[in-house]
Structure 1
Amino acid sequence: MPCLSASARRRHTKMRSLIFLGFLAAAIQVNAQQGFLSIDCGMEGDSSYNDTATGIVYVPDAKYIDSGSNHKISKTYMDATTPAQAETLRSFPDGDRNCYTIDGINQGEKYLIRALFFHGNYDGVTPVAFDLHLGVNTWQRVNITEPTVSPRVEILTVAQQDYFSVCLVNIGSGTPFISALEVRRIDVADVYKDDVNQSDSLVLVGRLNMGAAAAAKKIIRYPDDAYDRKWESFSSPPQWSEINSSQPIQRSPGDAFQVPAAVMATAVTPKDNTSLQFYLPSEAGAIRPVYYIYMHFADFDPLSQTETRRFDVYVNGQLKGSSVKPEYLLSTHLNITSELGTAIRYDFSLNSTSGSTLPPILNAVEVHTTLTLPDTATDKDDVDAMMKLKDMYKMTTWQGDPCSPEKYRWSEVSCTISASEPPRISSLNLSSHRLSGSIPTVLGKLTAIKSLDLSYNEFTGSIPNFLASMLSLSMLNLSHNQLSGSISAALHDRKQNGSLDLETDGNPRLCPYGATCNFVEEKKSKKFATPVIVVIVIIGAVLVVLLIVLSVYLAKRRQQSTRRSQAPKSPLKLDELKAMEDKPVGVDSHQFTYEELKNITNNFVRVLGKGGFGTVYYGRLPADGTEVAVKISSRYAAAAEATTWSSTSQTSDSMMDGTKEFLAEACHSILVCDGDF
């Protein structure tokens, strides 16, 4: 057995360690992405791919939506910085509201949801504006002013249900569209714990990485940020100095923001050593948003006993943070909540305190607006039942929540709205929808429904017992279907006592309560007859096709046979022609020799027509001047050309208009007719 040297064994052990660490890193990354869902909207097929910049897996969107159309962006509008997710999009030219439904959500946990919109002039129409809804509440308006503008919108929210519904709403200002949709679970309860809850969400305005303008990496996100937040480099003004640390920045246990170490490793300070100032424009409108501002600090210098770094934070002249002292190589944070009031912008000032020997420092800043969620989603059991019906019957017009908001309520549904309870479905009208099969048992989950109309469909089988147990139900219309069996005692009793208005007419195989009906034999006959009828129809269709083919074939055979029979005979031999010259040709009692015909036609001078059977000449009878037409057959003419005469013509085979026929035939070669020309 071969023996490895000590150095070879060390190399082998090192190689195995590297392989193990590689697998471990891959496993950690996959595990970190377990709370991620990344959807490339408009991507065809069912294959996923790994984003080259982050390694995040992106999947097509067909699993999450059943409306809209896919488009590809022209490369004219893309460059090296364009993300792969911007190469395709899904647009929604039809319907007021179109929604992505994302299942598998942990109700009560925090999530980051982000959407990308890259128009790329796919339809040649800009500007475009539409609303984005999260569930039943408005998230924000998306405005696309130029084809190359690619806004991203982001929200931090708590899941109200075990699914998310992200809807694009048409407001009449162009066709809504979306390029990518990303969902990230924030699995640490402490992160944003004070400001993101069941009633309030945070909509991102900006997330800035300070002091990193000169860095090669302009955007820091996953895997540096475990939640894939995007930290964009901020361009420092000339009055600022950019600084950085080569040592890692630590986080305290229970840190509420989990800012990546790569972000905290850069910062800005004022060159005048006293005041760091910047401002934030405000959104226009009568309703001024409340801003949540999070400032993140870490000191890069171990301070001596004679050095201090302290500063105050002002917003529009109001003190929001007093004597802020950043910790050495440790993330610290300042939360600011501010209402703009009558001001037109936010002015921020970080001013050194009187006893500070070092200037203010700022590593990163986040700005959000708060979003309350006033509208309540429909009762979960009602929604589950309606979603199953939607999938069962391919009801693609059913988008988002069935009841809320009222403006976008499903047309087949009526709802009961209460200030203290979620909306409930009180009426469902599926009449004339061409539905078939058994009446679905999922209808029994609509425990608040009062009216159910399933008439004029093709439902079969017996009336299910659960319908009688739906105590809220006061009107049930099952008329004009193909239901069979007997009406149950429970339904009959409810109809009799007036608690249920039951309609069942138009079901020929349905028996009244208490009646005996047996359709077993008829069912067997029908089951047998259906395939027999299908076979007969197919055989009949095949026979018809064969008859048509045969008729066409025979017609062509007859046509070919006719052409052969009409083909000119071989020319007369010269001796045959001479033998005919003195043989009279007649019509009734009139007899003409060939010489007389030459005299009648003035030696065959005037040609009336020429065809496959021969040439027709104009002539006059010498006795009374009657005008006649003399036809010399092709066979006769061929022989005549070899003797003393010939004739050419390029007219048609028909005689002149108005000619009357009284034709005679001699040896099937010469025809004479008279009439008015």
Structure 2
Amino acid sequence: MASIPYFLFLKAIIPHLVIFAIYARLQEEGFLSLGCGRAPEWTYPDAWGIQWVSDSGYVSGGTTYNLPNDDAYLPRRTMRLFQGNQSKYCYNLSNNAVRLGAAFLLRVYIRPGQTPPYTPKSANGTMVFKLIVDANEWSTVSVAVNETYDNEAYVRSQGDFISVCLARSTPDGDAPFINTLELRPLPASFSSVQRMSSTNTILTEVQHYNMAPLEVSLISYPPDIADRYWRNIALDDNGPFYKINLSDIRNLTRPEDIDIAPSTLFQDSWKGSPYLSFYWTQLVPSFTFSMQFYFAEIDPQVNSTGARVFNIFINGLQETSFVGPVDVFAAVGANTPYMVSGGADSDQSGTLSVNLTPSVQSLFPSFLAGIEKFTPTRLEPLTSSHIVAAVEALKSALNLTSYTGDPCLPEGYGYEWMNCSSRDSVTAILLSNSRTGGIIPDEIRSLDTLLEIHLDGSDLQGPIPDLSALERLEILYVDSTSDSYVR
């Protein structure tokens, strides 16, 4: 029985016809590929038609670091390191594709190299820090010297930019760093995108598996127009596998419920003997995951309905099997991509086993071409727009523009010089002895839930604006060109 970590299976299936992508000569509109720590003028067109640019125009702060003697893919040979004390450091990603409600794939690549820029805090040599997207915690990075960490998420934009942030796990934790950051538009027709919209979620810890022999390499762009990374999961190289020429895979479409998958995914299929059995461990216990499984009937001997029919069982229990048997030929015919999707719960130990078992009447064993796994996470709304507008004015007036991302969220990762009680409430400005300079902007009056303002020792200039609208204000410390005041 094969074992794959961090995986879950489906509780119910929804059939879909799948179409595959055609190779493109130019990158898709909306692609954004950032080489982190590169000089502002740096660009790099790679062999697959993807245009890489420097991250310098998308982030504030951090220092650049070259990975010496590193043979990684060129854009990954530098990093941006954030050693300061800000609560988080954020990339604001925007282009002509980023608009309210649009869906995107985000991908980070993190590699400290052979000689990392600092000694990890952990005794085991692992560097640990946080990834954040908008108001959601995305993932905890854990990476050792000369190892790599990469992660994908599917997100929906809540405005005209998406914030991807890095933060220490604790105030004295490891400094975060990043090598590359990628943004890829996702078609609205994707089942996963429609599921995000209908359930108000984002999908984190996204994984794509190609059930192919060991010699088959990574599938990505341009075969996959969304540039998903389909990884070979290193099954037994001796097979058994079904194989077919790419030219024999049909390119069929229909207007509704179309999912686009790379044609090369369906060139090989893992063949059961007669069943397929595998399991995953280290999942979140008792959690509902989302999955998509891909098939194409590429065996020429299967030429009629009922020739290959199989059921999918979860954790060995027939009562938790999929709704109805799977008969790919009956659904779409031969050499045609097909997908089933749905959700299922992990067990209390975080382990899940899957068995694809042919029916008694089936003449052929079960099979499988590819899998996608997603972790649904509730989409957290951003801090209220009137608070964001006031904080932006405050940042500009007090020379705090290096702070980006959501000012209050996620909880514990808002700006450290503010206290927020919720997305709708700022209760304190804490900038004593900050030496920021600047002035107190009139927009501070719109933060009407403020209880405390500490701006003493900030080297402010100009008068204190009328703060009578701040009816809840209890403490005000200011030494601009005037006085200090306590109420």
Of the structure 1 ranges 59-68 and 226-235, higher mean CA displacement relative to structure 2 is found in 59-68
1:266 deviates by: 2.6
1:117 deviates by: 0.8
Whether the 8 Å contact between 2:131 and 2:164 is mirrored in structure 1 is: yes
Question: Which residue, 66, 71, 82 being the options, matches 2:65?
Answer: 71
Whether the 8 Å contact between 2:398 and 2:438 is mirrored in structure 1 is: no
Give 3-state SS (helix, strand or coil) of 2:195's partner. coil
Supply the distance in 2 between the matched residues of 1:109 and 1:184 (Cα, whole angstroms): 11
> Kindly tell me: are residues 278 and 474 of structure 1, through their superposed partners in 2, closer, same or farther at Cα, counting changes over 3 Å?
closer
The reply on whether 1:360 has 2:366 as its aligned counterpart is yes
Give 3-state SS (helix, strand or coil) of 1:195's partner. helix
Whether the 8 Å contact between 1:314 and 1:321 is mirrored in structure 2 is: no
Whether the 8 Å contact between 2:109 and 2:179 is mirrored in structure 1 is: yes
Aligned residue type for 1:164: I
Alignment of 1:125-144 (within 5 A): 125=119, 126-144=125-143
Task: Give the match for residue 548 of structure 1.
Answer: none
Task: Give the match for residue 378 of structure 1.
Answer: 383
Task: Give the match for residue 570 of structure 1.
Answer: none
1:425 deviates by: 2.1
1:343 deviates by: 4.8
Paired-residue identity, %? 23
Alignment of 1:388-403 (within 5 A): 388-391=393-396, 393-395=398-400, 398=403, 400-403=405-408
Question: Which residue, 152, 157, 165 being the options, matches 1:154?
Answer: 152
Supply the distance in 1 between the matched residues of 2:438 and 2:405 (Cα, whole angstroms): 26
Supply the distance in 2 between the matched residues of 1:160 and 1:425 (Cα, whole angstroms): 21
Alignment of 1:555-570 (within 5 A): none
Larger radius of gyration: 1
Question: Which residue, 311, 315, 322 being the options, matches 2:324?
Answer: 322
Question: Which residue, 256, 269, 272 being the options, matches 2:271?
Answer: 269
| TM-score w.r.t. length of structure 1 | 0.58
Supply the distance in 1 between the matched residues of 2:350 and 2:425 (Cα, whole angstroms): 43
The reply on whether 1:99 has 2:89 as its aligned counterpart is yes
Task: Give the match for residue 44 of structure 2.
Answer: 49
Supply the distance in 2 between the matched residues of 1:281 and 1:249 (Cα, whole angstroms): 36
Supply the distance in 2 between the matched residues of 1:439 and 1:205 (Cα, whole angstroms): 44
Listed one character per residue, the Cα deviations across residues 560-612 of structure 1 (whole Å, up to 9, x for unaligned) are xxxxxxxxxxxxxxxxxxxxxxxxxxxxxxxxxxxxxxxxxxxxxxxxxxxxx
Alignment of 1:118-129 (within 5 A): 118-120=111-113, 121-123=115-117, 125=119, 126-129=125-128
Task: Give the match for residue 78 of structure 2.
Answer: 88
Whether the 8 Å contact between 1:111 and 1:186 is mirrored in structure 2 is: yes
Q: Name the Cα RMSD after superposition.
A: 3.3
The reply on whether 1:58 has 2:52 as its aligned counterpart is yes
Aligned residue type for 1:131: K
> Kindly tell me: are residues 343 and 321 of structure 1, through their superposed partners in 2, closer, same or farther at Cα, counting changes over 3 Å?
farther
* Higher RCO (C-alpha 8 Å, min separation 6): 2
1:401 deviates by: 3.0
> Kindly tell me: are residues 414 and 123 of structure 1, through their superposed partners in 2, closer, same or farther at Cα, counting changes over 3 Å?
closer
Task: Give the match for residue 196 of structure 2.
Answer: 196
> Kindly tell me: are residues 47 and 345 of structure 1, through their superposed partners in 2, closer, same or farther at Cα, counting changes over 3 Å?
same
> Kindly tell me: are residues 45 and 162 of structure 1, through their superposed partners in 2, closer, same or farther at Cα, counting changes over 3 Å?
closer
> Kindly tell me: are residues 132 and 182 of structure 1, through their superposed partners in 2, closer, same or farther at Cα, counting changes over 3 Å?
same
Whether the 8 Å contact between 1:192 and 1:257 is mirrored in structure 2 is: no
Supply the distance in 2 between the matched residues of 1:344 and 1:410 (Cα, whole angstroms): 35
Give 3-state SS (helix, strand or coil) of 1:85's partner. helix
Structure 1 gaps of 5+ residues are 1-24, 484-502, 506-677
Structure 2 gaps of 5+ residues are 1-23, 120-124
Task: Give the match for residue 312 of structure 1.
Answer: 311
> Kindly tell me: are residues 267 and 201 of structure 1, through their superposed partners in 2, closer, same or farther at Cα, counting changes over 3 Å?
same
1:36 deviates by: 2.0
Task: Give the match for residue 183 of structure 1.
Answer: 183
Whether the 8 Å contact between 2:436 and 2:460 is mirrored in structure 1 is: yes
> Kindly tell me: are residues 262 and 445 of structure 1, through their superposed partners in 2, closer, same or farther at Cα, counting changes over 3 Å?
farther
Whether the 8 Å contact between 2:167 and 2:175 is mirrored in structure 1 is: no
Alignment of 1:388-467 (within 5 A): 388-391=393-396, 393-395=398-400, 398=403, 400-417=405-422, 422-430=423-431, 433-434=434-435, 439-443=440-444, 446=447, 448-449=449-450, 452=453, 467=466
1:257 deviates by: 3.3
Whether the 8 Å contact between 1:312 and 1:322 is mirrored in structure 2 is: yes
Task: Give the match for residue 337 of structure 1.
Answer: 343
1:190 deviates by: 4.1
Supply the distance in 2 between the matched residues of 1:269 and 1:339 (Cα, whole angstroms): 26
Supply the distance in 1 between the matched residues of 2:438 and 2:193 (Cα, whole angstroms): 50
> Kindly tell me: are residues 249 and 345 of structure 1, through their superposed partners in 2, closer, same or farther at Cα, counting changes over 3 Å?
farther
